[in-house]
Amino acid sequence: MTNYKLNIGLNNNNLSKLVENLNNYRGYLFNNYNVNLSHGEYNGIKELTAIVDIDAQNHDFEKIEKLCKMLCNSLGQDCIAVSLYTDIYGQNNGLLIYNENYLGEKNIFNSQYFLN
């Protein structure tokens, strides 16, 4: 797998802080990225969401997991949704990577909430 898609809520952040972080990690944890915006939902609350396409050719998933954990810490996110692959029916399959300091209830990845 060389491409991943992330959903990152922006209620407590702004896009420029996310882009600054992605630029800092580019080349080290992944090759390149593209960001689009849409409206998503987290715990029943609507929020602006960054949809980040990650080109991770020649980088393993452990680096993407590390990226998500670093972004969670830097951006103060509870978690980041990661799509690992899309199946033949068009469903995203992935996981939620939680902030290491998050103490609340942890959910499982639900493709119905994932934004493409």
Mean pLDDT value of segment 15-42: 93
For residue 92, give both structure tokens: 């995203």
* Residue 89 identity (one-letter amino acid): Y
Reply yes or no on domain 3-98 having CATH 3.30.70.
Answer: yes
d(CA 56, CA 45): 31
Closest CA to 7 of 92, 102, 106: 92
pLDDT value at residue 11: 87
3-state secondary structure of 61: helix
The answer, yes or no, to whether residue 42 has pLDDT greater than 80, is no
pLDDT tens sequence across 44-62: 888 899 999 999 988 889 9
Mean pLDDT for the chain overall: 91
Mean pLDDT value of segment 89-98: 87
pLDDT value at residue 88: 81
Residue 1 has a CB neighbour count (10 Å cut-off) of 11
pLDDT category at 93 given cuts 50, 70, 90 is: confident
- Per-domain boundaries in the chain: 3-98
pLDDT value at residue 66: 95
pLDDT value at residue 54: 95
pLDDT value at residue 13: 80
pLDDT category at 81 given cuts 50, 70, 90 is: very high
